[in-house]
Amino acid sequence: MESTAVDIRELNEKIEKASGFVDLIHLEIGKSIVGQKKMVERLMLALLANGHILLEGVPGLAKTLAINSLSSAVEGKFSRIQFTPDLLPADILGTMIYNQKVNDFTIKKGPIFANFVLADEINRAPAKVQSALLEAMQEKQVTIGDTSFKLDAPFLVLATQNPIEQEGTYPLPEAQVDRFMLKVNITYPKKEEERQIIRMNIGKERPKINPVVSIDAILKGRELVRDVYMDEKIEQYILDIVFATRDPEASKLKKLVPLISYGGSPRASINLALASKAMAFMKKRAYVIPEDVKAVCHDVMRHRIGLSYEAEAENITADELVSEVLNAVEIP
């Protein structure tokens, strides 16, 4: 037990030193993004936990600007794909082009070959295009013709979607949404924040984002995130939360039974554990506490719980169900 305490103390010092770049990135992105603290924090979380992120919100809430700023601050390669109904998988992945000079086909790589990929309005493209992107996200590689290419690390996909009520959209199937580690709902800024946004945008010069951290530092940070200590009690807490969404009755949540059509998959448990570790790392801690799990729970779980017709008829949201589960599950 004593050696564990010593190990954690050592790891704590290591993490405190290594996680300094988190504050640097926050400060740098803060030059161009006003408010939206949670969105920026979740981008960092996904980057450290090696996951992808789905942002939902109306247009104009700085979703594109946020990932662009992050890629500038991290010295990474950024590409943006505007999803439209006529987009083809080759427009994302790349294609074979016939080269007359060499009398052979050469490979032209698509915009997926970047560290930070913004999939703008992912729900505006047909299923074939969505699945091409999601396969690259899952496998971290792309096949063009007979050749497979590994994607460079870090590889972070930030997909945005407008709320589904808007016309001309193709909602993402549940199995594909499950591939995103986090789903974050973006809301309007506060009045005072919007005043600052106006001033920033009507000024003569837009703030320039400078690279403040190397790709190497991010990759080392990712390795340390995996080393963050997670007690068995915290593991049990995560399992209790996920299992309560699958079998609410067994967790003394009988009133949720008619509201949930299906609960979180094992991917929910894995991502909840990883995101909690990344949250602890961002707080400069070498061990996970229940507050870390609670802080990320809504973003990890909201797209992994199926709402029944009854829940939709009563306008009950997945967030409300996650809150009910958190209130009911015993905290270690």
pLDDT at residue number 270: 94
For residues 144 and 199, membership in a common domain is answered with yes
Q: What is the pLDDT of residues 71-119, one digit of tens each?
A: 888 887 888 888 888 888 888 888 888 777 777 777 888 899 998 888 8
Check residue 44 and give left, alpha or beta (phi > 0: left; psi -120 to 50: alpha).
alpha
Whether 15 is covered by a domain: the verdict is: no
Residues 196 and 233 in one domain: no
Q: What is the 3-state composition of the chain as percent helix, strand, coil, each rounded to the nearest 5?
A: 50, 15, 35
Q: The domain containing residue 322 runs over which residues?
A: 229-328
Residue 6 scores a pLDDT above 60 = no
- The closest alpha carbon to 133, from 155, 105, 107, belongs to 155
Residue with tokens 């920026």: 40
Domain total of the chain: 2
pLDDT interval class at 196 (50, 70, 90):
confident
Q: Do 54 and 81 share a structural domain?
A: yes
Query: Which of the residue ranges 133-142, 168-177, 239-248, 294-303 would you say has the lowest mean pLDDT?
Result: 168-177
Average pLDDT, rounded, for the chain: 84
**Are 133 and 112 contacting, i.e. CB atoms less than 8 angstroms apart?**
yes
Mention every residue, 6+ apart, whose C-beta is less than 8 A from residue 97.
105, 106, 107, 108
What is the rounded CA–CA span in Å between residue 57 and residue 53? 13
From residue 68, give the alpha-carbon distance in Å to each of 74, 160, 278: 10, 13, 21
Q: Are strands 116-120 and 141-144 parallel, antiparallel or unpaired?
A: unpaired
What is the number of other CB atoms lying within 10 angstroms of the CB of residue 216?
9
Q: Are residues 235 and 189 in the same domain?
A: no
Q: SS3 for 224?
A: helix
Q: Does residue 317 sit within a domain?
A: yes
The pLDDT, as a whole number, for residue 3 is 47
pLDDT > 50? residue 226: yes
pLDDT at 53: 92
Categorize the per-residue pLDDT at 168 as very low, low, confident or very high, splitting at 50, 70 and 90.
low
| pLDDT greater than 50 at residue 136 | yes
176/278 same-domain check:
no
Instruction: Answer whether residue 97 is part of any domain.
Output: yes
Are 181 and 34 found together in one domain? yes
pLDDT tens for 206-225 read 778 888 888 888 888 889 89
User: 276 and 186: one domain?
Assistant: no
